[in-house]
Amino acid sequence: MSKQLQVAALRNGTVIDHIPNEKLQEVEHLLQLDKLPDSSIMIGYNLDSEQMGHKSLIKVSNHYFSKEELDTLCIAIPDATLSIVKDYEVVEKRSFEMPTELTDIVACSNPMCITNNEPMRTRFHYLSDKHALKCHYCGKEVDVNHVKFAK
């Protein structure tokens, strides 16, 4: 089945494409796909891809993810693409751009940071020149490729 057909087969929902195969499980976990009882979910693994050789893809019907949920994917799968489908049409297609600020997505790596010792939301600022995240509270910087998720 071609990619176009797979996307077109969805009436309403979200398609996340160009997921590296090894990231598929992580993405399933981050989006908590097991907690969407009203959605049909199709997962394609090891599909042929011109750009990537092989890729994975997730289609979720009747569900649009929140900004916070999608922000987690900026870190996990920065090169993937997101399509929003409404009435069989792709109404929005974009890559995952890193936001300037991430709220409650990443955990601080500093054990002495207040965010690791108090029930509160984490906040990080994205430093594009270093491709790093800086903790709003303790100031500790961490490379985006080495972050831990808050949940």
Partner 1 sequence: MANNSLVSIANLTGEQLKYLLAMGREFEKRPNRKILDGKLVATLFFEPSTRTRLSFETAANRLGARVIGFTDPKVTSSTKGETLKDTIMMVSNYADVIVMRHYLEGAALWASEVSPVPIVNAGDGSNQHPSQTLLDLYTILQTQGRLDNLNICIVGDLKYGRTVHSLIMAMRHFNPKFKFVSPKELPLPEEYKDYCREHHIDFTECEQFDEDIIADADILYMTRVQRERFTDLMEYEKVKDVYILQRKMLGKARENMKILHPLPRVNEIAQDVDDDPHAYYFQQAKNGLYMREAILCNVLGITLDDIVADK
Which residues form the interface with partner 1 (CB under 8 A)? 110, 112-115, 117-120, 135-141
Residue pair 126/100 in contact by the 8 Å Cβ criterion? yes
Nearer to partner 1, 93 or 121 (CB): 121
Nearest by Cα to 98 from 121, 130, 120: 130
Query: For residues 54 and 114, what is the distance between their CA atoms, to the nearest angstrom?
Result: 42
Taking the complex as a whole, the smallest distance from the CB of residue 145 to partner 1 amounts, in Å, to 18
CB of 72 to partner 1, least distance (A): 22
**Structure tokens, 114:** 């207040």
Angstrom distance (rounded) from CA 43 to CA 40 = 10
Closest to partner 1 by CB, 33 vs 138, is 138
Residue number with CB closer to partner 1 (47 or 135): 135
Minimum distance from residue 124 beta carbon to partner 1 (Å): 12
Shortest distance (Å) from residue 112 CB to partner 1: 5
Let me know: does 65 contact 83? Beta carbons within 8 Å. no
Nearer to partner 1 among residue 37 and residue 111 (C-beta)? 111
